[in-house]
A and B are shown apart, each in its own frame.
Chain A
Amino acid sequence: MESKPTYHRGSRDGKAPFKGDPLDGIKPYYDLIVIGSGLAGMTAANVLGRAGFSVLLTEQHYNFGGMATWFKRKGGHIFDISLHGFPFGMKKTCRKYWSQAIADRIVPLESITFKNPQFELETSFTKEDFTHHLVQTFGQKRSKVEDFYQALRAMNFFDDSGETTGELFERFFPGRNDVHRLLMEPISYANGSSLADPAISYGIVFSNFMNKGVYTYSGGTDHFIGQCKRELKKSGVELRNRVQVARILVQGGRAHGIEAIDSQGQRHTIEAGCVLSNANLKTTIERLVGPQHFRPDYLEGFSKVRLNNSSTQVYMGLRAGEELPFTTDLQFTSTRERFDSPSLCDKHGESRTFSYYYPKTRPGSDRYTIVSSMNANWADWTGLSDAEYEADKQRLIEDTLCCLERSHPGIRSKLDHIEAATPRTFEFYTQHAQGSSFGTKFEGLAYSMNLSEEIEGLYHAGSVGIIMSGWLGAANYGVITANKVDAFLHSLVNSPA
């Protein structure tokens, strides 16, 4: 298949111009080649580099980190894309697979708020506080709430009952749309899931989050990725950005390397003991490997795997010297009377989140930014003329400002930078099919996990199946896959030549 080096694509968004050859000095063979430096790709690379294997980590963008990223704008602004919050478990994951210093920077959010026509409340998202709200604010029996938690914890991946999340809520809190909203809204923003998705996926993610509160990284995404890069180098991982992987090489049912394109458009073949793709699962199977290498029934089943939704964001930077009194770290807002899942993806919808970044985000800085996020559908943002696209972006910005003005009157006059990202932006930067923010729906997980049974030496790790997404889900999935890769590479060493 003909694939052009995408980083030459002319775009208003633009990518950094090239200097030098990104594949200069590359070795002809690595034990493992990782395609993509998202949290799953990076974490797997670090674990396996540390274990003593030769690892090449390739990334088509000039930054490492995938969706865990940031960007800078004139006026001293730094915007974080996906640093809104993650579960406490991230601390342990960072300590074990990255470093104690990284883990030490993981700190709790102080305040999470909800504001909608059904309720307004503040919570720390700890179990005590959340239970308190369900009992006091929503008048639910404590025993019922305990039973609900118990049911979530007892859910077993291997014997899924087929119940949907909506059915689960109805079983415990019948007719309480407001309770369903409290339970679902944050998780929908965290991983794109909806009331129609399996209760099991909800159970796993909710139990992770609603435990010890919601956490963030003190220092900002730029600091986090900088630390990860340092660790990767210490682990002996060869890091190469601006390398577009065009193909995964497969021969006789066995993955044995990659074909990459350098800045001059030259194709390079690099051999490997095995390949781990952190690219979107659809992209990996359909484009990087190609359908001809899979069994028809695997492909047939895979064709039914749905991608998860994409996102829009609006980034707002306060002018140097302006301040914003602390109100909350993360707010879920909506003007819709009742909660339903599909409307969270409405193009010009009424529901959005606001993340407030105070100077504490980057200790030593005195700057403030606000990032608003919405879930979004790819289809709503494609097929537009340039003028329509710009107008829609402008409307998104305007709607967001109107909403923000309600809680922060006069905020407009304090801003000196504002811009929007759409599903097209996410697709452009990550090359994920349809700008998917959270990989695939639940059914994709099995195809990701069983990839190596279809093609020997080929593995996938990255946002997939709802439960393996988010910073924590992706990082842990990287480790789960690293363990399989480790077993495979050991078996290569130990099998007689």
Chain B
Amino acid sequence: MTSEEIITAIKDIIATIAPDEELVGLDTAVPLRDQIELDSMDFLDIVMELRKRYGVQVPEAEYGELNTLDGCARYLAPKLEGKELKLVNA
């Protein structure tokens, strides 16, 4: 997946977890928590969805890497290499 696709993948997961949040226009460099209402349980959900949709394991110690969308793209790039984008809320 490309960086853009990874960001799309994460946004699609967030759309499932937090359907009331506006995801258009999110700043990819700013922590997600500062822009939308995501608590620590929501981050668990993101991790579980990544595992379910893409078979990606994120160890607990590395949850912090997912703080921003750019961080997600960077951290997940090697893990999502060669995988296909799956959208649920398209």
The answer to whether A51 and B52 have CB atoms under 8 Å apart is yes
Q: Determine if A486 and B41 form an interchain contact, defined as CB atoms under 8 angstroms apart.
A: no
CB distance from B37 to the nearest CB of A (A): 9
Q: Is B47 an interface residue (CB 8 A)?
A: yes
> In the complex, are the beta carbons of B57 and A491 less than 8 A apart?
yes
Interchain CA distance A165-B44 in the complex, whole Å: 29
Interface size on B, residues (CB 8 A): 10
| A96 CB-CB contact with B under 8 Å | yes
A-B contact count (CB 8 A): 29
Q: Are A490 and B44 in contact (CB under 8 A)?
A: no
- On whether the beta carbons of B41 and A476 are closer than 8 Å, the reply is yes
B79 at the interface (CB under 8 A from A): no
Kindly provide the distance from the CB of A178 to the nearest chain B CB, expressed in whole angstroms.
33
B13: shortest Cβ distance to chain A, in Å?
12
Q: Are B41 and A490 in contact (CB under 8 A)?
A: no
Contact A487–B51 (Cβ < 8 Å) = yes
Check: B15 CB closer than 8 A to any chain A CB.
Answer: no
Q: Which of B30-87 contact A (CB under 8 A)?
A: 41, 44-45, 47-48, 51-52, 55, 57
Residue pair A487, B57 in contact (C-beta under 8 Å): yes
Q: What total of chain A residues lie within 8 Å of the partner, measured CB to CB?
A: 16
Find the A residue at minimum CB distance from B57: A487
Asked whether B17 is an interface residue with its Cβ less than 8 Å from the other chain, the reply is yes
* A422 close to B (CB within 8 Å): no
Q: A292 near B: Cβ within 8 Å?
A: no
A103–B52 Cα gap in the complex (Å)?
Answer: 24
Least CB separation from A489: chain B residue:
B51
- List chain A residues, Cβ under 8 A from B57: 487, 490-491
Contact across chains for B55 and A96 when beta carbons are under 8 A apart: no
C-alpha gap A483/B45 in the complex (Å)? 8
With A487-B57, A490-B55, A494-B55 already in contact, the answer to whether A96 and B45 are too (CB < 8 A) is yes
| A486:B45 contact, CB within 8 angstroms | no
Q: Which of A67-105 contact B (CB under 8 A)?
A: 92-93, 96
B52 touches A483 (CB 8 A): no
The B interface is mostly helix, strand or loop, or mixed, namely helix
Asked whether A51 and B45 contact (CB < 8 A) given A487-B57, A490-B55, A491-B57, the answer is: no
Say whether, besides A491-B57, A494-B55, A486 and B17 are in contact (CB < 8 Å): no
Determine whether A479 belongs to the interface, using a CB cutoff of 8 Å to chain B.
yes
Complex formed: what's the CA distance from A92 to B42 in Å?
10
Contact indicator B44/A483 (Cβ below 8 Å): yes
- What residues of A have a CB within 8 angstroms of the CB of B55 in the complex? 490, 494
Q: Which residues of B contact A490 (CB under 8 A)?
A: 51, 55, 57
> Does the CB pair A483–B17 fall under 8 Å?
no
With a cutoff of 8 Å between Cβ atoms, the chain A residues found around residue B51 in the complex are: 486-487, 490
User: Distance (Å) between the CB of B29 and the closest chain A CB?
Assistant: 25
Do B52 and A480 have beta carbons less than 8 Å apart? no
A479 with B17: in contact, given A490-B51, A491-B57 (CB under 8 Å)? no
Q: In whole angstroms, what is the CA distance A486 to B44 when docked?
A: 11
* Contact A51 B48, beta carbon cutoff 8 Å: yes
* Contact assessment for A96 and B48 in the assembled complex, using a CB-CB cutoff below 8 Å: no
Distance in angstroms between the alpha carbons of A490 and B50 in the assembled complex? 12
In the bound complex, CA of A47 to CA of B45 (Å)? 10
10 A/B residue pairs, CB under 8 Å, sorted by A:
A51-B52, A92-B41, A93-B41, A96-B17, A479-B45, A480-B41, A480-B44, A486-B48, A490-B51, A490-B57
| Residues of B participating in the A interface, judged by any CB pair closer than 8 Å | 17, 41, 44-45, 47-48, 51-52, 55, 57
Nearest first, the 5 closest Cβ-Cβ pairs linking A and B are A483-B44, A483-B48, A490-B51, A486-B48, A51-B52
Since A51-B52, A96-B17 are in contact, a sample of 14 more A-B pairs with Cβ atoms closer than 8 Å, ordered by chain A residue number, is A47-B48, A92-B41, A479-B44, A479-B45, A480-B41, A480-B44, A483-B44, A483-B48, A486-B48, A486-B51, A486-B52, A487-B51, A487-B57, A490-B55
